[in-house]
Chains A and B, each alone.
Chain A
């Protein structure tokens, strides 16, 4: 087997264009995929728990009634709301993947908004099983909340400016159903100035009236400025974020995990499938298995070759990315373990493809046709598609090494708190299964 391995390395060394393409193409593709992951589906499902009693949906601010539900609707412009009635139901909807996130509107939100002084707070719960989903929730909630906040803030400012205008200029004002006529500070000052002018110079009322007139003058000057200050009130509603599973992974580190996994997949699968199919194209397979090498050893050699080469390239890529993205170098042994397990599983998948396709071109085509959709399916967040479709996606993803490799890489790089054993065991099982499939396919290989 050692001699076959050396032979294959010699062949690769003499095919610089092929090797260059094998390395550069997956690296470029994986970086593009990894760092372009910023958009999700248009209308993901979001569980909605509205704890505000129906009678409290509107509130008084200044002398105006504001209907909060008008502004809440803006939150749902780009989501498909799933109505729930308790917090437990909201949590379950997120945990089960029925909803991408849950939005909880507290009962006291209108009360807080009605003060005009205090920001109200809504709670967003999401399943942080992958950072793409977290990013998606952030984007949706932030963007919709910004719209609602902007509309509310505009309304608040309009009311505040009207009230300040009333204070300055006077006019009609409704207080608990009674129409009052407000004099206004400007008119007050005019009246005071006229009164002061009509008083004798030594009148005892002159000094206190002068103080009141000065105050009215100062108030007029400063309230004119206050209309601008009121305009800066911009965030009546704030968001409290609650992740119910996993730690929050920086998207850049997750993108590194995706990039490395995609690169590892392409390199390993293409190399393993191509090098095995090459044995048949060179007519050497029948000669080799005629007592020189067993079929199992031949598969083992191809798996070792592809996994070894792809591991080395991917580790170098990871270390290179580590210079630009903040990674925990203390977890290096876990990087190695995740890469090695992923490489072996992908290589087993590659030899199965090579054994089934039997020709280098067909094997390469099949490797591409399988790899790309598998990679994309594996990063679809739950809750972003229908339940049935997501179940299908989950089953398909579990049949191939991409998703468990990504989970292992994410855990190795970011300590997601989901454990390392499950994805490694999954990869080992896939390696055995694909190895067995390849061995079966070799029966009709020669």
Chain B
């Protein structure tokens, strides 16, 4: 398996040899990959595999112990698993606050665009605490997009959503990649990854043990009769995890 990627001229983000320890334990070990513009990449793996740590390192929340991340000119937008917005402020006030903190040049225009993209213009004045989990997550993602980043990092974006909210979320993310924004997200829902992602990165015990399309992972275990989830589990077993 590849442990480091050579930066392609077209790559939106390139990671090389990323390693992060928590005390003695290595949460991420020598991970490298590249993401193309407009690509939707899912980071999957069992609980404790290092998915959130990897995204935190890519997003600059955590500093790696070793390795580097080559970021695109527009930088990365980071969306944490739990909505990181203020429940007592309205949708618009949240967007306006973070747009000002991001120092975007035209706050009004950006807020209007985000309300439109997130399909929340009619809820702009509502306090966030009164919105559904799905709508709060859309505001959470919209905040990550305010600075118009070339790459968006999403940590378990659909974990607390019901199926209908999840469907609307993926429509929203699909529209983003359609506009050329690269999206890297972590999930433990492999079926969702199979359905939505262009490519999956499989992490186990901090190591990147697979990168490729869902179909190529199925082919790797040679199980055309299995669904993706069963193929994924078999792959982990074969890799000793």
Give chain A's interface residues, CB within 8 Å of chain B. 3-4, 7, 10-11, 14-15, 282-284, 286-288, 290-293, 446
B80 touches A283 (CB 8 A): yes
- Determine how close the nearest CB of chain B comes to the CB of A30; give it in whole angstroms: 28
Q: In the complex, are the beta carbons of B59 and A11 less than 8 A apart?
A: no
For the complex of A and B, 10 pairs with smallest distance between CB atoms = A283-B84, A292-B101, A287-B84, A11-B88, A283-B82, A3-B100, A284-B84, A14-B88, A7-B97, A282-B86
Contact with A4, one of B88, B101, B102 (Cβ below 8 angstroms): B101
Check if B88 sits within 8 Å of A292, measured CB to CB: no
Nearest B residue (CB) for A6: B97
- B143 adjacent to A287 (CB under 8 Å): yes
Whether B88 pairs with A284 at a CB distance below 8 angstroms is no
Interface residues on B, range: 20 to 34
- Cα–Cα distance between A3 and B107 once the two chains are bound (Å): 13
Q: Which residues of chain B from 52 to 67 have a CB within 8 Å of any chain A CB?
A: 59-61
Asked whether A282 lies within 8 Å of B60 as measured between CB atoms, the reply is no
A14 to B87, CA, bound (A): 11
Is B83 interfacial (CB-CB < 8 Å)? Answer: yes
User: Which residues on A sit within 8 Å (CB–CB) of B80?
Assistant: 283, 286-287
Q: List 30 A-B contacts (CB under 8 A).
A: A3-B97, A3-B100, A3-B101, A4-B97, A7-B86, A7-B89, A7-B97, A10-B88, A11-B86, A11-B88, A11-B89, A14-B88, A14-B127, A15-B88, A283-B82, A283-B85, A284-B84, A284-B85, A284-B86, A286-B80, A286-B84, A287-B78, A287-B84, A287-B98, A288-B101, A290-B78, A291-B60, A292-B98, A292-B101, A293-B101
B192 close to chain A: CB less than 8 A: no
**A287-B78, A287-B80, A287-B143 are known contacts. Are A292 and B102 too (CB-CB below 8 A)?**
yes
A290 to B78, CA, bound (A): 9
Cα distance A7–B61 in the bound complex, in angstroms: 23
User: Which A residues are CB-close (under 8 A) to B78?
Assistant: 287, 290
B139 to chain A, nearest CB (A): 12
B93 interface contact, C-beta 8 A: yes
Chain B residues with CB below 8 A from A4, complex form: 97, 101
Residues in B with CB closer than 8 Å to A15 are 88
Of residues 67 through 125 on chain B, the ones whose CB sits less than 8 Å from some CB of chain A are 78, 80, 82-89, 93, 97-98, 100-102
B85 touches A10 (CB 8 A): no
What distance in Å separates the Cβ of B69 from its nearest Cβ neighbour in chain A? Answer: 14
Residues of chain B within 8 A (CB-CB) of A290 are 59-61, 78
A286 contact from B61, B87, B127, Cβ within 8 A: B61
Nearest-CB residue, chain B, relative to A292 = B101
What CA separation (Å) do A253 and B87 show in the bound complex?
43
Q: Which residue of B lies closest to A291 (CB)?
A: B60
A283-B88 in contact given A10-B93, A292-B102 (Cβ < 8 Å): no
Give the one of B59, B84, B85, B87 with max A CB within 10 A.
B84
